[in-house]
Each structure stands twice: as C-alpha cells, then as structure tokens.
A = this chain, B = another copy of it.
Amino acid sequence: MNQQYPSVLLEKAVNEFAKLPGIGSKTAMRLVLHLLRQDVQAVESFGQSLITLKHDVKYCSVCHNISDTDVCEICSDMQRDHSTICVVENIQDVMAIENTHQYKGVYHVLGGVISPMDGVGPSDLQIQTLVERVEDGGVREVILALSPTMEGDTTNFYIYRKLENAAARISVIARGVAQNDELQYTDEVTLGRSIVNRVVFTGQM
C-alpha cells in the first residue's frame, strides 16, 4: 500500500513500524491498528518499554551480555565455573545455551562474527577483550560456539590464532547430524564430518 494515509499520525506510526526488519507496510498497518484498539495505558506501556530499554540498558563489563547491572547475573554467580568461557555471537545464543541447562561456565558475547561482506572486522567485535580475559589467567578452556557458517568459521580461526599461545585449551562445539534430522536429507559436509568425528557408543545418547 503506497498511498495516502487518512491521517499523518497514522502514517508516521506505520512508517516507524515498517522500518523494522521483515515488517512490510501492510503488516505495519495491521500492527498499528491493533495497538490503536488497545487502551491508552497499553500503548504507553509498549512505547515506553522500548524507550526505557534503550536509555537504561547496560552491557556486562565482563562478558558483554545485556544486563541490568554492571556485571551480569551469570558473571557474578559464584556457583558457576569461571575457568570455562563459552564464546558466542549474540545474546540470543547465550539464552539458547542457558536453555539447554548443559553449561555451567561463563560466556563471552562477541556481538557478531567477522564478515568482510558486511564490513564487520575483528575490531568491531569483542575479541580483544576476550584475549585480555584469557591473558588475565584463571581460564582453563575457551569453547567456541559460533554458528557453523563461513563467517563463524573465519571468526573461530581468528580467535584460535589470537589465543594459540595462551595456556587455555580451545575447543569447538560438536558438529554432526541434528536430533530428529533425516539422514538422507543431511548435507554431505555435515554427514561426512559426523562419521569422521564419531564417538564411542556407551548404550545411550
């Protein structure tokens, strides 16, 4: 719908929504009209929650995860293993790994991966602060948990070279066939690697 809106205020709100990734002008219109049907309080709560977040959001000074405090809950939790650092691309990845309940170490959020195509170089990411964390000592293992893409692999390799001479062990998350994947539809690289990197079967997965 690239036409005249019956109201300038409506047009402005729709255009703001349509700037969001994956939201076209028709969806934007639908969302704005949905909000218009809510009461004033609900709309204010919506708008204000975003403004407040932008104003007051903090990033953990240790791992760079989003946080309400200077050091995030995970980094200030003394129950966790601070000698193991899991390196991830973004906040969602921290949440996804936390959701598995399989990891008790701490994190380091890079804020992206090296991607020359998108103009993202090592200095745009929290790589230097990772190197410093490791050089400060007390770190036994760095787990690289980036996406298995070309950019993720490039970033893995870059970090590996930076930490090569550090005392910490560098590991990378396992790649292989995913739970419930159908073998015949699995790509050759993944399937091949899952055979090469097979593990001893102990009677349970």
Contact = CB atoms under 8 A, between A and B. Distances in A.
Interface of A: 1, 3-10, 12-13, 16-17, 19-23, 27, 29-36, 38, 40, 43-58, 65-68, 72-74, 90-92, 94-96, 98-99
A81 to B, nearest CB: 18
A9 B57 contact: yes
Copies in the complex: 2
A35 B50 contact: yes
Given A12-B49, A44-B51, A92 B6 contact: no
A10 B54 contact: no
Which 9 residue pairs of A and B lie closest in terms of their CB atoms, listed nearest first?
A47-B47, A43-B54, A47-B51, A13-B53, A9-B53, A13-B49, A16-B46, A3-B99, A47-B50
B45 A48 contact: no
A25 to B, nearest CB: 10
Nearest to A3: B99
A95 B4 CA distance: 7
